[in-house]
């Protein structure tokens, strides 16, 4: 039974990859506009917010210096009650918005991931709680580094 | 040192020799120390969730997948500890193999197995080895992972093994190429750095161990795992040496020498680096 | 096994810590290859993670998420032996679904 199911899943996967199945309807459509926005303010607007407030209840943890901007590890957590989503914005990237995460009830508002940074700039962690947006910001220095290692 | 630097106009050097700073820079003041601390914090944050694990998983599948005209897996491949015995094998390479009468590293030994067991040609076995997600990348990462926790102990028993060590030693110190660089030019003094990277003193056992126990490694800047041969080839590119052939004697000899320098180091590969 | 997802889970009390590594190039479309040609954008847009038919995390990503993405998060009510399902869809319409058994 398990074997069949695994084989089926693999088949579904393969068929989807080959474009043989109709594209499944998702609860979400990718927010193209938000991901094309080029400033923090524009992103917040396109995420349905305005005038985000700085809050020490939003915690952005990351390195002071990233040895390589291709991989910058970040951890974002929110102590705001009822945090429903978290977003990562990188001020000087070609497109400011890097990622958004929906936090359903039962999931902790705490995510870790890695992002690309084009150059030294501010990284913003945006948290939505009770319909309002709050943020924490941190400057992360980016440098390519030397000859190897 | 000073006399070398004064022989060349600095501007010309800055244009032609990006790696010359290793000779000049000696990391010591408070700002350097703080920078190094921050870089180490960055490196630590990367240790969890190493994409090399994806390559390891691919390698494991390749090891047990039938391939080639002989429709065989690699499971009977002898990496020095007997057919199919993988635990600790990487930590004992390179070594002499009686069947090929050569000192071989993990990459050349894998090619031998692909040819002998699976019936591939040498060309097929090495095609695209340096590309992201190549078979070689997966297999080397998988095999290296099977030596986690093992101590580097490369044999120096067979005369060929000793000869290769001597060759590797000679190559390490040989100045060559348009910049007259040798490995030793950068890697024979403690506390050297090139911009933000420590350039380890490979003649010091503790430094050599730090380096050799971390390769193969996922290189964030390339988004792929680099094998040791790939890493050495890039060192040579930076020295402006001509590119060595894949699986060439020079690359294997250098590995024999470096592994011997790192003897006793506990393997942690695959590593993750910038 | 063109695309793999590696999952690590750790349950403490009723909270599961999930760590994922996803194999995906996450090309920005701004990078040039060795011949000087732009490598077309190819990145995960939508990610959905479900546990027992409830969504425990959903995400929208842009190309600024690093190559071979790493993600860690925690959710409540997890039980050992139960399955986590991870689905991603990228900008080319390609999709992958994987299941992992929680440990």
Domain boundary among B108, B129, B145: B145
Q: Would residue B235 show up in a list of annotated catalytic residues for this protein? A: yes
Cβ <8 Å between A94 and C95: no
> Is residue A148 domain-resident?
no
Low-confidence ranges of chain B (pLDDT < 70): 1-9, 11-28
- Which among C4, C21, C25 has the least Cβ separation from residue B49? C21
Instruction: Determine contact: B67 vs chain C, CB below 8 A.
Output: no
Please check the confidence at residue C23 and state whether its pLDDT lies above 70.
yes
Whether residues B135 and B215 fall in one domain: no
> Is residue B219 domain-resident?
yes
- What separation, in Å, do the N-terminal and C-terminal C-alpha atoms of chain C show? 23
Structure tokens at A128: 């939505």
Instruction: Determine contact: A149 vs chain C, CB below 8 A.
Output: no
Cβ <8 Å between B53 and C19: no
Please check the confidence at residue A10 and state whether its pLDDT lies above 90.
no
Instruction: Determine contact: B221 vs chain C, CB below 8 A.
Output: no
Phi-psi domain of B233 (left: phi exceeds 0; alpha: psi -120 through 50; beta: other): alpha
Binning pLDDT at 50, 70 and 90, where does residue A149 land?
A: very low
3-state secondary structure at position B104: strand
* pLDDT tens sequence across B168-215: 999 999 999 999 999 999 999 998 888 778 899 999 999 999 999 999
> Is residue A8 domain-resident?
no
Looking at residue B259, which CATH number applies to its domain? 1.10.760.10
What is the domain count for chain C?
A: 1
Nearest one of A9, A19, A33 to C92, comparing CA atoms: A19
Whether residues B136 and B63 fall in one domain: yes
Q: Which of B19, B22, B77, B235 is catalytic?
A: B235
> Structural domain of residue C66, as residue ranges?
5-101
pLDDT at B33: 83
3-state secondary structure at position A115: strand
* Portion 42-61 of A in contact with C at CB < 8 A: none
Instruction: Determine contact: B222 vs chain A, CB below 8 A.
Output: no
> Structural domain of residue B207, as residue ranges?
152-273
Q: Which of A70-79, A121-130, B37-46, C1-10 has the lowest mean pLDDT?
A: C1-10
Under 8 Å between Cβ of B144 and B217: no
Nearest one of B97, B216, B94 to B152, comparing CA atoms: B94
In our burial notation (b when 16+ CB lie closer than 10 A, e otherwise), range C40-78 reads ebbbbbbbbbbbeeebbbbbbbbbbbbbbbbbbbbbeeb
Burial class (CB in 10 A: 0-12, 13-18, 19+), A18: exposed
Looking at residue C88, which CATH number applies to its domain? 2.60.40.10
Binning pLDDT at 50, 70 and 90, where does residue A147 land?
A: very low
pLDDT at B170: 98
Distance CA B43, CA A46 (A): 35
Structure tokens at A109: 């508002």
d(CA B54, nearest CA chain C) in Å:
7
Give the DSSP letter of residue A84.
E
* pLDDT tens sequence across B182-193: 999 999 999 888
Whether residues B136 and B173 fall in one domain: no
Looking at residue A111, which CATH number applies to its domain? 2.60.40.2470
> Is residue A137 domain-resident?
yes
- Which among A26, A71, A104 has the least Cβ separation from residue C46? A26
Distance CA C57, CA A23 (A): 21
* pLDDT tens sequence across B128-156: 999 999 999 999 999 999 999 999 999 99
Structure tokens at B23: 């000779």
CB atoms within 10 A of CB B97: 19
pLDDT at B21: 54
Please check the confidence at residue A15 and state whether its pLDDT lies above 90.
no
What is the domain count for chain A?
A: 1
pLDDT at A25: 45
Instruction: Determine contact: B48 vs chain C, CB below 8 A.
Output: yes
Residue showing tokens 């095609």? B127
> Is residue A147 domain-resident?
no
> Is residue B29 domain-resident?
no
d(CA A97, nearest CA chain B) in Å:
22
- Which among B41, B199, B274 has the least Cβ separation from residue A68? B274
Whether residues B156 and B264 fall in one domain: yes
Whether residues B166 and B118 fall in one domain: no
* pLDDT tens sequence across C37-93: 999 999 999 999 999 989 999 999 999 999 999 999 999 999 999 999 999 999 999
> Is residue A68 domain-resident?
yes
- Which among B48, B51, B57 has the least Cβ separation from residue C68? B51
Binning pLDDT at 50, 70 and 90, where does residue A24 land?
A: very low
């Amino acid at each position: 039974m398990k074997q069949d199911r695994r084989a089926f899943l693999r088949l579904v996967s393969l068929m989807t990859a080959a474009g043989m199945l109709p594209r499944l309807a998702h609860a979400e459509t990718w927010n193209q506009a938000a991901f094309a926005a080029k400033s923090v303010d524009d992103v917040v607007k396109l995420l349905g917010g305005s005038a985000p407030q700085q809050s020490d209840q939003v915690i952005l943890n990351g390195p002071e210096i990233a040895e390589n901007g291709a991989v910058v590890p970040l951890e974002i957590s929110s102590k705001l009650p009822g945090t429903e989503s978290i977003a990562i914005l990188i001020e000087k990237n070609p497109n400011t918005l890097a990622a958004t995460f929906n936090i359903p009830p039962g999931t902790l508002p705490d995510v870790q991931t890695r992002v690309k940074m084009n150059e030294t700039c501010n990284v913003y962690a945006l948290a939505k709680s009770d319909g309002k947006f709050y943020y924490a910001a941190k400057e992360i220095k980016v440098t390519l580094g030397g000859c190897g290692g | 040192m000073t006399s070398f630097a004064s022989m060349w106009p600095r501007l010309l050097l800055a244009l032609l020799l990006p790696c010359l700073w290793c000779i000049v820079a000696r990391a010591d003041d408070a700002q350097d120390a703080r920078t190094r601390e921050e870089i180490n914090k960055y490196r630590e944050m990367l240790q969890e969730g190493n994409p090399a694990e994806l390559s390891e998983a691919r390698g494991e599948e390749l090891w047990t997948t039938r391939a080639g005209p002989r429709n065989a897996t690699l499971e009977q491949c002898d990496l020095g500890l007997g057919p199919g015995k993988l635990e600790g094998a990487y930590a004992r390479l390179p070594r002499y193999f009686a069947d090929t009468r050569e000192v071989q590293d993990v990459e050349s030994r894998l090619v031998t197995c692909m040819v002998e067991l699976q019936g591939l040609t040498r060309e097929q076995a090495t095609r695209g080895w340096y590309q992201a997600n190549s078979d070689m990348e997966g297999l080397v990462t998988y095999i290296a992972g099977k030596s986690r926790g093992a101590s580097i102990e490369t044999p120096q028993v067979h005369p060929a093994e000793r000869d290769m060590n001597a060759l590797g030693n000679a190559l390490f110190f040989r100045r060559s190429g348009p910049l007259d660089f040798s490995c030793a030019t950068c890697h024979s003094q403690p506390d050297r750095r090139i911009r933000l990277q420590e350039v380890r003193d490979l003649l010091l056992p503790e430094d050599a161990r730090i380096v050799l126990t971390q390769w193969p490694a996922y290189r964030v800047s390339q988004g792929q795992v680099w094998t040791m041969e790939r890493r050495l080839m890039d060192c040579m590119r930076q020295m402006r040496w001509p590119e060595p052939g894949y699986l060439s004697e020079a690359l294997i000899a250098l590995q024999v020498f470096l592994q011997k320098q790192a003897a006793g180091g506990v393997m942690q590969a695959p590593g993750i680096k910038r | 096994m063109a695309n793999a997802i590696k999952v690590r889970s750790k349950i403490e009390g009723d909270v599961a810590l999930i760590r994922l590594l996803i194999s995906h190039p996450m090309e920005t479309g701004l990078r040039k290859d060795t011949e000087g040609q732009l490598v077309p954008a190819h990145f995960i847009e939508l990610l959905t993670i479900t546990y027992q038919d409830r969504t425990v995390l959903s995400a929208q990503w842009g190309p600024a998420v690093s190559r071979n993405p790493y993600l860690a998060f925690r959710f409540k009510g997890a039980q050992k032996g139960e399955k986590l399902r991870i689905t991603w869809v990228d900008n080319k319409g390609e999709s992958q679904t994987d299941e992992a058994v929680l440990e």
